[in-house]
Structure 1
């Protein structure tokens, strides 16, 4: 160096001392050359230097702190940008992990650089004002880069701020573990919309319009003359299973694990209301079913005085003023209600309805909701006539697709009329899939040798509830929830079950949700808290560092040899004399006298007692060094 600048104190002025004659005579000898004359002139120059704060240290404390703040903000914006975006359309997950770690490491490195610089200013502030043992000084010089010295709890008593400052450095590294985990990869829904083929209920479909396809797609069983008899066993089974389950039957998804679509189709609905007792209901029941109990181990006979349940379908005649209908399909019930412990009566009419169904699959679990627009009541007079489809049964060529219905031997139907009849009978089949398992009678339930039941399975469904008698050890009472709304819901559930069994396909708009790997900014508080907490803690120490720098009047640098050299030039000090004998020993082999020797950084006087300069020395050898007044 051309010159060595000391801190804010006067440098000892070196006087020109004439060289000894002997030395002058030896100049001509072949010896190791000394420094050039220009260098000796610089070293020997007489000058006075006053310290100044300068720009490097303040810039380091402010610059690194602001840089760390900017990195934290950029990391937050980065996470916000990737939030709810798919991995395949942004950056690979491995790259994101690397970027997150880079953000955290750059943040911690910059903040540690700012904090370490501030720590050095506070350390030298203490060294100017307090005599510390050499072992404590040695620990303090290393505590900001080696947390192993934190175990010296004695430092907490001597210099608590510096001890906590040393704790801050590992805290920065630990705190920055959390921000990279704020942005995680999860399965995100990717909603796609497209036309697709899905199964639907089409009661009007007759295939290729031949007699073969007419019966192939019919939902009912017919007699030899083409009359309606009952729903096919397939649909009766669906009705019974729906009743026993208490809900509609589902089917596997035709469009993936997560999708939704709407369907519009025709199906029957029930219009039910509370009614007065139907005096002819009992006769209608036993016109259809036996009055002898038909269940195993139940041998009772029908008792009209102990009725629990009674239900039957029938045709109700109307006048000509009722929109041209002469009869309707009715279904009447009498049942024991738990609320009143008495009998209630409900009457239902079968209607033609349009269903709008929303079918949704979530994780392959189906949910169906329907909106029902009720239409006209079914015309029981026409749909119940004998030999209704005789001409279809007796078709000359069952496979012909151009069958002329006008030439039917039994009765004349136009194509439009035939379609309407086929539509009505199909709806009747769906309605009977519910009505027939419900119809029947129960009396004297729970009374030994008197219990009677015929046909109905209502007692086995969730619609029935039984009261246990702890004295008789049996269930002497049975109650039913067959309100008008409950019966209408039953018809809806059976219809949905049959819809889910349909094989006809139709094209509709399907909204499909496919789950893909995507980024989720799951825990903003985790990132913000870690960065903000660390910045806040460091800001306190940086402000303390600025205060110490201003009071010191000159910057201090951590770990620099020049600074150590400039502060240990008091050759006659006790510290130097003791340390000379141990220059080649390790730290662990130093004597206690040296490690416990208390020194401070202050003003010392040269050997001649003429000039003062700053260096380490004992309390007796030094004066307190404060910032020089301007």
Structure 2
């Protein structure tokens, strides 16, 4: 009985040990220099060993119960030798479970064998509860990352402030009160970066400052165009009088006819116009005075006009020296007016395997109204400039000498006295420089000609307000320079804007300035080779944001500390399928409890502990029966081939042999003989009797 309990206790302890091992290993690195647990190969071996110990101990306990209960059956039931043979051998040969006689005579015993086999199978699932798989491990630390800091002035000196400024400074002439002004000489790296960003149409890659997989968020002040809602208008141009319908704003269109070398006149349009208002560069005195009164000392207004053709009544072409013009052209115009502003960028950087993705949100938009401070003095011409102590160093003894041209001035090397006003002025100057790097390249006009592909067969939408006449809607812009490659005036205009090579051109991916020659007939392909512009406040600011972010990575003057989240994929032990261990182990342990009770009960009924697979027990229990000895003698060499059916069909039972030992001294002393015999030779064992020969 103690053996049954001990082996069950060992199985129970092993099950909890196996569970504890997997719980301990869960989440730990499987292999590598940072692993704090044994290698994967050792863990696998330990898991298999624990599984085997559990199986052996629990099935061993059940096997002991099987033996006790088997001998209880042998004592109480007369069975054929063949049935007894099946009962003894079915633990090793599961095919014997098909013996119906065994199921009929001892169903509980057969169920015990089935459970032993099932326990062996069930326990094999336990090691699979722990797997090794990739896990993302996160860590957080503070890392220095690139940013944009418009208030960065180096060491605070005039030299450093100019060095790290995106709009360089000029030392003014001696006839001005303000010793320093902006030169308008924008940073060449910034201009090149803006041009490349605009033509690429996207943010460039930036090397990760925090590893292959990481993320962080930046808050910075950047440029922003605060734009009015787009003003969309529809109108008709009379090509005879070159006049627009009253409902159409034609400012700046300057629609003209240009004569080609072959005598053909073409109507020239401006499909795009960008207007950059800069009162301080080439502006009139009135504009400068207005800007001074408004405290606007920067290019602060940017306007865009785009038009696209809707349809034609006749081709807008005439023969040279002829008065036969096309009649009407329907046009859609889009007008956007924007003001310079600052905004707070919240930029989320995410690197996945060194591939960058960003997300930008904008808040706290503030229009720039006071970029600098002007000051009026009697007899001094008001100029654009700024003055603060320590920014310049002069060799003149006093201000009057410096104004008279006595001595010279240069940017100082010592930190200047930066006040909040001067820092604000400097910050906005950098913001405007970034903004102007884009708007200067979008400033100008883009001349095109209009081509019609088919006859007038369609009606335009009533929403256009153009009537119900039939129009030729198969129309498209064609780059003007292809028709007039020698026109220097329009070549200069075309060169003044980069708009055609930016994503603002709807045919950006198919744009080909050499796709059309005037001597060729118009084809449908011109729709894709020509230009068509769509500009919105959102697309303008998206491009401006891309320039700002590219500037962070390319120029690299500024840095800040950021809270960085890093992650890496490592192989870890994962207790991912706990039921693979818990269910087989603890269901087996639970089912074993009534089995153990059965074993203890059988042991008490037998009075003697039976031995499993014991040769000695076979010798002790199979002698004494003449009938059994006679039937078994024919198979004395062993092997099923030598066993006669007479023996296999012989019904026997374990009990007290009636006639054995008569006349023996031990028999006369009350000692009796127990063993297997036929029903005629056997009577039931009596508890308490003395059996021994």
**TM-score clears 0.5:** yes
Q: Which residue of 1 aligns with 2:25?
A: 82
Q: Which residue of 2 aligns with 1:500?
A: 553
Change (3 A) 1:216 1:547: same
> What aligned pairs does 1:171-570 form with structure 2 within 5 A after superposition?
171-186=118-133, 188=135, 191-205=138-152, 207=154, 217-219=164-166, 232=187, 234-243=189-198, 247-276=202-231, 302-303=268-269, 310-315=273-278, 324-325=295-296, 329-334=300-305, 343-370=333-360, 372-374=362-364, 376-378=366-368, 403=393, 416=418, 422-438=426-442, 440-441=445-446, 447=452, 450-452=477-479, 454=494, 455-457=497-499, 461=503, 464=506, 475=527, 482-504=535-557, 506-511=559-564, 513=566, 515=568, 518-536=572-590, 538=592, 541-542=595-596, 545=599, 555-561=609-615, 563-569=617-623
Counterparts of 1:619 and 1:141, CA distance in 2: 21
> What aligned pairs does 1:39-54 form with structure 2 within 5 A after superposition?
none
Contact preservation (8 Å) 1:355, 1:371: yes
Shift of 1:577: 2.0
Contact preservation (8 Å) 1:601, 1:617: yes
Counterparts of 1:291 and 1:103, CA distance in 2: 94
CA deviation profile, 1:366-403 (whole Å, cap 9, x unmatched): 3434454435433598699x997999xxxxxxxx9985
Change (3 A) 1:69 1:234: same
Change (3 A) 1:497 1:382: same
SS of equivalent to 1:508: strand
Contact preservation (8 Å) 1:301, 1:451: no
Q: Which residue of 2 aligns with 1:576?
A: 629
Contact preservation (8 Å) 1:184, 1:522: yes
Q: Which residue of 2 aligns with 1:616?
A: 676
Change (3 A) 1:552 1:243: farther
Greater helix percent: which structure?
1
Change (3 A) 1:567 1:356: same
Contact preservation (8 Å) 1:602, 1:622: yes
**Count, aligned residues:** 543
SS of equivalent to 1:434: helix
Contact preservation (8 Å) 2:82, 2:648: yes
CA deviation profile, 1:130-166 (whole Å, cap 9, x unmatched): 555545533432432x3xx123454256336555543
Shift of 1:274: 0.6
Contact preservation (8 Å) 1:200, 1:499: yes
Q: Which residue of 1 aligns with 2:54?
A: 107
Counterparts of 1:617 and 1:582, CA distance in 2: 17
Counterparts of 1:260 and 1:222, CA distance in 2: 37
Q: Which residue of 2 aligns with 1:599?
A: 651
Contact preservation (8 Å) 1:566, 1:615: yes
Shift of 1:514: 5.5
Change (3 A) 1:369 1:153: same
TM-score by length of 2: 0.62
Counterparts of 1:69 and 1:381, CA distance in 2: 81
Change (3 A) 1:184 1:467: closer
Shift of 1:268: 0.9
TM-score by length of 1: 0.67
Counterparts of 1:474 and 1:125, CA distance in 2: 101
Contact preservation (8 Å) 1:311, 1:441: no
CA deviation profile, 1:544-595 (whole Å, cap 9, x unmatched): 65676677676543223554344324x2342222324544x23355333366
Counterparts of 2:36 and 2:673, CA distance in 1: 63
Counterparts of 1:210 and 1:574, CA distance in 2: 122
Q: Which residue of 2 aligns with 1:92?
A: 38
Q: Which residue of 1 aligns with 2:490?
A: none
CA deviation profile, 1:437-459 (whole Å, cap 9, x unmatched): 55554767875685247544467
Shift of 1:77: 3.3
Unpaired runs of 5+ residues, structure 2, are: 173-180, 234-246, 259-264, 280-286, 310-330, 375-381, 454-475, 481-493, 511-522, 689-693
Unpaired runs of 5+ residues, structure 1, are: 1-55, 293-298, 392-399
Change (3 A) 1:546 1:418: same
Contact preservation (8 Å) 1:337, 1:479: yes
Change (3 A) 1:606 1:624: closer
Shift of 1:276: 3.5
> What aligned pairs does 1:55-70 form with structure 2 within 5 A after superposition?
56=1, 59-70=2-13
Task: Point out the more displaced range, 572-581 or 416-425.
Answer: 416-425
Change (3 A) 1:530 1:403: farther
CA deviation profile, 1:277-308 (whole Å, cap 9, x unmatched): 69999756889xx999xxxxxx975436xx5x
Shift of 1:114: 2.0
Counterparts of 2:249 and 2:195, CA distance in 1: 23
Shift of 1:70: 3.8
CA deviation profile, 1:489-522 (whole Å, cap 9, x unmatched): 3332332222222423535144353545543322
Counterparts of 1:139 and 1:187, CA distance in 2: 51
Contact preservation (8 Å) 2:199, 2:501: no
CA deviation profile, 1:461-488 (whole Å, cap 9, x unmatched): 28837999xx957747987765444433
Change (3 A) 1:70 1:444: farther
Contact preservation (8 Å) 1:328, 1:377: no
Task: Point out the more displaced range, 458-467 or 115-124.
Answer: 458-467
Contact preservation (8 Å) 2:254, 2:269: no
Counterparts of 2:391 and 2:370, CA distance in 1: 29
86, 91, 94: which is aligned to 1:150?
A: 94
Shift of 1:96: 3.5
Counterparts of 1:211 and 1:291, CA distance in 2: 54
